[in-house]
Amino acid sequence: QWDKRVEVPSFVVPEHWPLLGCMDYGEAAPTAFYLATQDYDGNTYFITEYYRDNATASQHAYEINKLIDGCPFTPADIFRESGLYLTRGANERVAGWRVINDALSKERMYCFAGWCDNLVRTMPSIPRDRKNPEDIDTHSDDHAADAIRYMMMHIYKASRPPTAKSR
């Protein structure tokens, strides 16, 4: 369940935390790109976003590089000067929504307040698919949700509930 607890004040990301990017690509439809990090406890933080429609691949790449270089929460010297390296995301839709729901229910997924406006705007209101209630309506504004789903499918590890022995 998406709620205001997901939005946290921004902070400077420690240099030793990994920086990751995820993207749902579009040219006429919006491209949604998120810069994220993960702490050692497995909590994921979406740091900032790029969200734009009606642009070419080269325009998106240029703007995303500018965004990363200008992000005040990350040390700029860790990025290569030329380009972003992308890996195809896992596209298991239902499993991805389950991963996001697990992370939200365990309070292990956050976004920087004021820096991921489209994510905050669209996530709470995405309708379910009428034919498959385990999925969302792919005709809705799902670009931000798809981008973070790709990321979470790649990095999220579900935590186990405490056992009687560890309590």
- Residue pLDDT, tens place only, 137-163: 999 999 999 999 999 998 887 666 656
According to DSSP, the residues that pair with 21 across neighbouring strands are 35
- Residue pLDDT, tens place only, 62-92: 898 888 877 777 543 333 444 555 566 778 8
pLDDT at 118: 96
Q: Is the pLDDT of residue 39 over 60?
A: yes
CB-facing half-sphere around the CA of 117: CA atoms within 13 A: 4
Q: Is the pLDDT of residue 112 over 60?
A: yes
Distance in angstroms (rounded) separating the CA atoms of residues 85 and 103:
26
> If you average pLDDT over every residue of the chain, what do you get?
85
Distance in angstroms (rounded) separating the CA atoms of residues 2 and 18:
24
